[in-house]
Amino acid sequence: MAQHAATLGRRDAVARPRPRPGRWRLLRRLVREKPLGGVGALIVLLMLVLAVFADWIAPFPYDEMHLRDRLKPSSTRYLLGTDNMGRDLFSRIVYGARVSMLVGLGTVSLGTGLATLVGVLSAYFGGRLDTYVQRLVDAWQAFPWLVILLSIMAVIGPGLGNVILALGVLTAASGSRVIRSAVLAVREQPFIEAARAVGCGHARILLRYVLPNVVAPIIVLATVGLGAAILIEAALSFLGFGVPPPYPSWGEMLSGSGRSYMYKAPWMAIWPGVAISLAVFGFNMLGDALRDLLDPRLRGETRRQP
C-alpha cells in the first residue's frame, strides 16, 4: 500500500502543471540585478505619464504667452522660468514629452515592423533573396545617415508624420541585420525541421515557431531605438527639419530661442537639454538591461552566484 501510494504521488506530481512565473518576475529581476535599468524604466514611465496627462500636469497651454513675464527665471508661478515670448517653460517641456514619445513610438513601430519583415524573410528563405536583400541593405548603410535623412526631409517637408516616416525608413535597415542574425540561429533548430517534416507551411512556421523565438531581440531593438529616435528628432529640430512650431519640441527649443538667449536666459537651453539627456539615458539603460535579461546567451551572467 505504501509503495502504491508513493507511485500515485509521483504520478500526481508529474501530472500537476508547474506554476508559471509571476507576472512581476521580470520587473523584480530588473530592479534587483540591473539597478540602472530600473532607473531607466522609471524615467520611461515618467515620460509616458507626462505625455498622456500633459493637459492636466502643465499649468499653462504650451502656446500661451505672458508678454509682461518675458525671460523670467524660476519662480513659484513659473517653475522653470519663461522664454522670450513669455511662455511657461515647464509647460512646454511637459508637452514636448508628448511630441517626443509620439515620434519615438511611431518611429519604432514603423522601423521595427519593416526590420522584422525584411530580416525574417531574408534569413528564413535565404538563397538569392537573402543575397539581394543584404546587398541593398549594405548599399543603404554605406551612405551617411544624416545625408539620407536631410535628403528625405527636404523632399517631403517638415512635419510630425514626415519625421516619423523618415526615421522609420532610416532605422529599418540596421535593425533588419540584428533580426536576421537571430532568425538564422533559430532556422537551424531541430524543431523547425520537425515542423517541416509534419507538413507545416512557411506561414505557420514563421508565425508559430520563428517569431516567438526572436521576440527578445525585437523588444531590445525597439527599446534602444526609442532613445535614438528621440535624439535624432531633436537633431532634426535643431537643424530646422523637425516638428514645426508652435508645437513644442525639445530640439526646437534648443535651436531657436534657447540658442539665441543662451547668455541672457540660460535656463531656456539648459532644461530642454536636460530633458533630452534624461530621455535618451532612460531608454538606453532600459534597453541594455532588457538585453541582458532576455538574451539566453547572457542569462548566466545576470544570475547571481550562490
25-302: CATH topology is MetI-like fold (1.10.3720)
Which residue do the cell numbers 501530472 mark?
Answer: 15
The domain locations on the chain are 25-302
Choice among 128-137, 154-163, 180-189, 290-299 with the minimum mean pLDDT: 290-299
Choice among 158-167, 272-281, 297-306 with the minimum mean pLDDT: 297-306
Hey, which of 3-12, 26-35, 206-215 has the most confident mean pLDDT? 206-215
Residue positions counted in the chain: 306
Residue of higher predicted confidence among 302 and 168: 168
What are the tens digits of pLDDT across the range 140-166? 888 888 788 888 888 887 778 888 888
Q: Say if residue 99's pLDDT is above 50.
A: yes
Long-range contacts of 30-33 (CB under 8 A, 24+ apart): 30/289, 30/290, 30/293, 33/292, 33/293, 33/302, 33/303, 33/304
Q: Say if residue 17's pLDDT is above 50.
A: no
Residue of higher predicted confidence among 295 and 43: 43
